Structure 1
Amino acid sequence: MEFEREALAVAVTANLPVILWGAPGTGKTSVVTALGAAAGLPVEVVVGSIREPSDFSGLPVLRDGGTWFAPPRWAERLAAEGGGLLFLDELTTAPPAVQAAMLRVVLERTVGDLALPGEVRIVAAANPPEQAADGWDLSAPLANRLIHLDWTVSAEDIAEGFAGGFPVPEFDVKGTAGPAAVAGAQALVGAFLRVRPDLVLAVPDSPDRAGRGWPSPRSWEMAARAVAACEHMGAGEAVLAKLVLGAVGEAAGFELLSWRRNLDLPDPQTLLNNPQARLPERLDRLHALLAAVVAYVHADGTADTWERAWTVMAQVARTAPDVAAASARSLARSRPEGASLPDSMLELAPVLRSAGLMR
């Protein structure tokens, strides 16, 4: 259970909505409330089986001559605190109408006409439908908004917990990855999807599979944020695998992890300082490298870095003009104020014309 606990802590730190799947009585509620207490976060527990759709979509009331969808008290308390941990328990006992009302809460942090603070973390828990009282499969739209973690316990876990207390992961909710790291991870995932475009969207064809993690642009974005968070926090490969597979499913997730493991790319900053360095020969690696360079330039925001990036683009264009064209379009859009057009762009004239950036 060690990796599951750490994966949960990483998800909460990175503000990624996560759901714990496990049999009744395995301590899911206890670990979430303990996690909130350890992080100093107020915890609101909302049990799906005893809620109505209006508990998430708001109750319509007249206000100032119009209709106001009033939020429930649990949402008002989280808003007043400025953050916290919302624990949605027993999701598979919530009927489809209630699950549908939860969609905006999980994705947009909106309850009725109340916008929850961005610092509200969301953790859910569910029993497999066959083990839940009057259980329902999780709807595909709701499942695709969550990272799915299997919560299992062993006799050794329980024995050690009874003897010395059950451990709670240590983490800092303010110690998450910055925008540059997230952009770099998104560039990495984007480069992978160029190689495997068939994995961008793969909606499962059965309710039980649709109720877990599956590939979509939304879940790939969560996977990218998980990659950035794990790299920033120094989490191991086992933790990263649980989060990525929990976001996009096993088949797509294993492909991304294997592809990432075999990339062995130079650091974008190192390459910009030495643009004549040897570049990868494989096209998928070139896509990944240039995407990382563009993400780094965008996050850096300085004219000098933007200008130096065109030297790298020109070098790639000599052997792989199609790869350079795709990244040149993104680089041109991120031109900082005051940046001049470097001489290296002249070498890219044919490429820029093919990308629609030059006449």
Structure 2
Amino acid sequence: MAVNTTPISAGQALDALRAGLAAQRACTMTASWMLHGRPGIGKTEIVQQLASESGSTLFDLRLTTIEPQDLRGLPFYDHDRQRTVWYRPEDLPDDPAHPAILFLDELTAAAPSLQPTVYGLLQERRVGRHLLPASTFIVAAGNAVEDGAVAYDMGTALSDRLIHLSLRAEAGDWLARYAVPRGLHPAVTAFIRTRPD
């Protein structure tokens, strides 16, 4: 599925996520976000930086390494109540007093059997009876099939639950927002300035 969005730089994507997080904290909007981009463009680092600067705990779920039951939790039989109860997985935020970012990385590479479980996280902010705290901000990321990476087309049932941001590599943005502030070696920045492609 091709995502119909205008490509933006990594810095612009970080700005958009900052605005979305601020809107959610102000109780004016709750949405789930999706970063699309080529492998290595910085999707994961954008989310890590957002968590760090916002004081949020980052829950990083690599969806290529989990099964639907991993999100549901471990079942046990409660003899007193005569029913099966599910232990909450430690990979999901559970403290309403502390802000968290739930990062669903490699969403487009996850097995299609995992998608229905992810629907509940994105739309209802729950898996089974496990509710996410209102202080949880959700961001997903993935590569496109066209990138030559392992990826599945995203169906509309999943796609419609997300605000999509398509990232493009932009040398000027990388230099201004990453390389120079972090003091990368001048030879590296000079090379990128002369060969931005």
TM range (shorter): 0.7 to 0.9
Counterpart selection for 1:159 from 175, 181, 192: 175
Query: How far 1:52 moved relative to its partner?
Result: 0.3
Counterpart selection for 2:147 from 101, 108, 131: 131
Distance across 1 between alignment mates of 2:83 and 2:148? 41
Query: How far 1:141 moved relative to its partner?
Result: 1.1
1:32-111 aligned at under 5 Å gives the runs 32-63=47-78, 64-75=81-92, 78-80=93-95, 82=97, 83-111=99-127
Match of 1:242 in 2: none
Per the normalisation by structure 2, the TM-score is 0.75
The aligned amino acid for 2:182 is G
The aligned amino acid for 1:86 is L
Query: How far 1:81 moved relative to its partner?
Result: 5.5
Match of 1:31 in 2: 46
Range 130-139 or range 88-97, more displaced: 130-139
Rg larger in structure = 1
The aligned amino acid for 1:156 is G
Gaps of 5+ in 1: 167-359
Q: What per-residue deviation string (whole Å, max 9, x for no partner) do you get for residues 80-110 of structure 1?
A: 3543110110101101111111111111111
Counterpart selection for 1:6 from 3, 15, 22: 15
Query: How far 1:153 moved relative to its partner?
Result: 2.0
Number of equivalent positions: 164
Query: How far 1:132 moved relative to its partner?
Result: 5.8
Distance across 1 between alignment mates of 2:181 and 2:57? 26
For 1:14, what is the secondary structure of its paired residue?
helix
Range 59-68 or range 108-117, more displaced: 59-68
Q: Of Structure 1 and Structure 2, which has the larger fraction of its residues in helix?
A: 1
1:202-281 aligned at under 5 Å gives the runs none
Task: Go from structure 1 to structure 2 and tell me whether the alpha carbon gap of 1:129 and 1:71 turns closer, same or farther (over 3 Å shift).
Answer: farther
The aligned amino acid for 1:14 is A
Cα pair 1:56 1:105 within 8 Å, conserved: no
Match of 2:191 in 1: none
Counterpart selection for 1:113 from 122, 126, 129: 129
1:277-292 aligned at under 5 Å gives the runs none
Distance across 2 between alignment mates of 1:12 and 1:132? 31
Higher relative contact order, structure no. (Cα contacts within 8 Å, ≥ 6 residues apart): 2
Q: What per-residue deviation string (whole Å, max 9, x for no partner) do you get for residues 213-263 of structure 1?
A: xxxxxxxxxxxxxxxxxxxxxxxxxxxxxxxxxxxxxxxxxxxxxxxxxxx
Per the normalisation by structure 1, the TM-score is 0.43
Distance across 1 between alignment mates of 2:21 and 2:139? 8
Counterpart selection for 2:158 from 123, 142, 147: 142
Query: How far 1:68 moved relative to its partner?
Result: 1.6
Distance across 1 between alignment mates of 2:148 and 2:115? 15
Distance across 2 between alignment mates of 1:95 and 1:140? 16
Query: How far 1:133 moved relative to its partner?
Result: 4.2
Cα pair 1:55 1:71 within 8 Å, conserved: no
Cα pair 2:96 2:135 within 8 Å, conserved: no
Task: Go from structure 1 to structure 2 and tell me whether the alpha carbon gap of 1:81 and 1:37 turns closer, same or farther (over 3 Å shift).
Answer: farther
For 2:91, what is the secondary structure of its paired residue?
helix
| Misfit runs of 4+, over 4 Å | none
Distance across 2 between alignment mates of 1:25 and 1:9? 21
Cα pair 2:39 2:149 within 8 Å, conserved: no
Q: CA RMSD in A?
A: 2.0
Cα pair 2:72 2:89 within 8 Å, conserved: no
Gaps of 5+ in 2: 1-8, 25-30, 184-197
